[in-house]
Amino acid sequence: MEPAFRCGTRKAIDELSVELNLPNENWMQDWPIEVMVPSDIQIYIDHYDKLTDDDKKFVLMEGILDTTEYQPTEELFLKYWNIVRQILNRDFALHEYTIHTYACLDLKTDKECYKLTPCMQDIWTTKTTNR
């Protein structure tokens, strides 16, 4: 079953842009993906761990996943995936919609998916089996 739609809030984006000193323009549709860079992933993970606001965690996780996806080496990808996986398992209810999206469960071919897709499918299956 597909989880309820969720997206980032303007307030969360505005606050995160200030906290992380990132550009923020009204025309940016996919803010975390447009401004976060893979080389700063640890900064984003460290900031996530300090947050108490679920909306900000939701937005920041979208950027963390994108920066994980685009790590320049397999070694770095695996290093950060192991950290992010723990966060997603812990905060599954908050990120359920994002996990479902990255899992690409409705697509027939892997060519339309992400590098993270098999990882997200594992989390989805583990967390939703026997619900």
The structural domains of the chain, with segments of one domain joined by +, span 10-128
pTM greater than the 0.85 cutoff = yes
Q: Which token pair is 124?
A: 């989805």
d(CA 119, CA 112): 15
User: In whole angstroms, how far apart are CA 49 and each of 16, 41, 61, 72, 117?
Assistant: 13, 13, 11, 24, 24
pLDDT single digits (tens) 96-117? 999 999 999 887 766 668 999 9
Minimal CA–CA distance to 71: which of 12, 28, 119?
119
pLDDT single digits (tens) 12-43? 999 999 999 999 998 988 999 999 999 999 99
Residue 46: count other Cβ atoms within 10 Å of its Cβ. 9
